[in-house]
């Protein structure tokens, strides 16, 4: 993480906050975060200035982990890295919970998180193009936005429906179930496409 914070303490506070925000939502207070991290509320404010400052740092960390993991998989030849990531998908549960809580809460910070996710997606998709893993796009920014909105929207809907059925959500189990259900159809769609010809696309893109 690009930061001047004292990572021995600040990172512990940040990571604790990511977990608590994901579990309880953004109504959780600084005192509860401080208690869970084993520090005083004053120390939280010392490092982050305010609860919004802490949340912004949490956003940065979540984005960093996603970006680094995507680039690691892209830059590893063969399917091994992707298969390993799929096998360990449960470890991303706190990040998914945090992101969904943010989007549900809405507001400027949620919009900022989404826009940063889209910007990062454009960068790692372009890296994948350069690595020869995916085809170039006529509009890389639009493609990145579409993919992120589809994935975030689908995950948000799936998790909300599961919460309605089960009450308190076990994000680890939910992410595993969603991965098992959607990985193969997603790979089929991305690998082989769906339309049998390009007539509609060609018509819409005619000058």
The CATH number given to whatever domain includes residue 158 is: 1.10.357.10
Within-domain flag for 176: yes
How many separate domains does the chain show? 1
- Residues 145, 36: Cα–Cα separation, whole Å: 36
Residue 2: per-residue pLDDT: 41
pTM of the model: 0.80
DSSP codes, 84-133: HHHHTGGGGHHHHHHHHHHHHH-HHHHHHHHHHHHHHHHHHHHHHHHTTS
Within-domain flag for 130: yes
Residue 7: per-residue pLDDT: 57
Within-domain flag for 103: yes
Within-domain flag for 93: yes
Spatial CA neighbour of 33 closest among 57, 53, 12: 12
Within-domain flag for 45: no
| Terminal-to-terminal C-alpha distance of the chain | 45
Within-domain flag for 117: yes
Within-domain flag for 182: yes
Spatial CA neighbour of 65 closest among 124, 111, 108, 136: 124
Average pLDDT, the chain: 88
Residue 11: per-residue pLDDT: 92
Q: Is the pLDDT of residue 119 over 90?
A: yes
Residue 17: per-residue pLDDT: 96
Structural domain of 116:
58-194
């Amino acid at each position: 993480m690009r930061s001047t914070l004292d990572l021995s303490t600040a990172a512990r506070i940040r990571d604790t906050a990511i977990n608590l925000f994901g579990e309880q939502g953004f109504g959780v207070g600084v005192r509860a975060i401080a208690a869970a991290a084993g520090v005083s509320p004053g120390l939280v404010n010392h490092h982050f200035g305010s609860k919004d400052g802490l949340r912004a740092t949490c956003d940065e960390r979540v984005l960093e982990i996603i970006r680094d993991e995507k680039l690691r998989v892209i830059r590893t030849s063969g399917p091994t890295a992707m298969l390993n990531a799929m096998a360990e998908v449960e470890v991303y549960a706190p990040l998914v919970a945090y992101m969904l809580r943010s989007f549900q809460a809405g507001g400027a910070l949620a919009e900022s998180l989404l826009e940063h996710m889209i910007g990062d997606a454009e960068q790692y998709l372009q890296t994948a193009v350069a690595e020869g893993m995916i085809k170039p796009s006529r509009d890389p920014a639009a493609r990145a936005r579409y993919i992120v909105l589809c994935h975030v929207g689908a995950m948000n809907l799936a998790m909300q429906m599961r919460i309605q059925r089960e009450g308190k959500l076990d994000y680890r189990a939910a992410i595993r179930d969603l991965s098992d259900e959607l990985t193969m159809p997603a790979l089929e769609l991305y690998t082989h496409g769906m339309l049998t010809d390009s007539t509609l696309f060609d018509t819409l893109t005619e000058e």
